[in-house]
Structure 1
């Protein structure tokens, strides 16, 4: 378990896939998820569906987040994750600051280096290589932080940065330097190893690893774990290693949130037990 993870509450996230649905259906899913008590609502940053009909209905990430910021009142919101390649880093910082204000301080800036080649090809971005995209992300993160400091008005608070990915040489080094949340889809064996690597990077840069929330993808669309006891089966080993944010994907057009309910109950049980000692 990561240091001090025991003091961090469990949170449940839902990624609403912004595809194969009308916007009213997405808006309804946002309302239902917030009413259920979900802690974080994510979308994703792509221009085409990732599964199903590759030319099916799809909506853009950041304009949607601004709408969610106005629609909701409690849940945190963000992209899982925003692609660094698609926007100038200073512009992205300004967009994040704006959504942060619209939401009264509920935005998480999820960011990654990008991977979906069709987005790049059809929208005219240079795809490069995995290494070059990670190098671009390394250059962008300090620019985003510097732009926050220059904006008027400033963000409402220090906007938390979620970095997605598990690359040990570059990505986890960026997490150690810039991340408030690290997200992966690692199973327990892999997560244990990656946390050791992340601890090493934190040691090098002088970062207290307990400052970084460990986030994992679980259950939900395209993954195992739909049974009522899924949190105990899938989540418990990850929790024991220090994971505290558990996010599942839900697809349209119906956005069935039944899979989320046992995870919310599990969250409440764990948080109640830790708060009472």
Structure 2
């Protein structure tokens, strides 16, 4: 599908509005080829009250990057429904409070660049104009910054930037394609959180490490803490970077 990318700054007004009155309502939830981040999956499986493993088996398809070997998780395609999102209903999104970051951002695209000198992240935005979307030309009276705040996307972006940083690290330290066992570790610690926790608790996965008790207690009870720890674990297991705590 053809699309135009129009650069836009956070202070610019968005000539766009989306609601159920639009004739294209829910069209952007069809013909999907949508990757999900670890934080997307964390939020969605908790919204549904199911385990990460059940969510992944029921709603997603697993692919591997042909050059990187990294796992890529996407919504499972269903041609019978026009490849629509499994959570879209006639009245809208049934998991709206925990919808993925890409849904929150639409019709914006976001790119980031990290300064080598300061480590600070700079954000860049563009509007995506697609033929099916009739939301353009409808004044919302909001700047890009205000739109993003209303979509509550900041937390998602911060969590997803951690994944981007991890992938960038992988490309520097371990360029090329990950082997099967390496990809499996990446998938376990970032996407299949409940299985990762189970292996920590029941299979003593961390026996070789000196993990502080307060950290263990937190990762056994809190998914976001477990995901942060999973990133540390992947850095250690794949890249040989020593785990540190209390930064």
Whether TM exceeds 0.5 here: the answer is no
TM-score, normalising length from structure 1? 0.26
State the structure with more CA Rg: 2
- TM-score when normalising by structure 2: 0.28
Higher relative contact order structure (alpha carbons within 8 Å, sequence separation ≥ 6): 2
